[in-house]
Amino acid sequence: MAKKTTQGELVVARNRKARHDYLIEDTYEAGLALMGTEVKALRMGRASLTDGFAIFYGDELYLEGVHIPEYVQGTWTNHTPRRRRKLLLHRSELDKMAVKVQGSGRTIVPLSLYFKNGRAKVEIAVATGKREYDKRHALRERQDRRETDRAIFGRGRD
In tens digits, the chain (158 residues) has pLDDT values of: 566 654 667 888 888 888 878 888 889 999 988 877 788 888 887 788 888 888 898 889 998 988 887 776 766 776 666 788 899 999 999 998 888 888 778 888 999 989 888 888 999 998 888 777 777 888 888 888 888 888 888 765 54
Using CA atoms, how far residue 91 sits from 24, 59, 129, in Å, is 22, 9, 26
Contact 25, 100 (CB under 8 A): yes
Instruction: Return the pLDDT at 101.
Output: 87
Residues 6 or more apart in contact with residue 140 via CB below 8 angstroms: none
**pTM across the whole model:** 0.75
* CA-closest candidate to residue 19, choices 101, 132, 109: 109
pLDDT at 90: 94
Among candidates 138, 111, 112, which has minimal Cα distance to 146? 138
Helix (H, G, I), strand (E, B) or coil at 100: helix
pLDDT in the model for residue 91: 93
pLDDT in the model for residue 157: 57
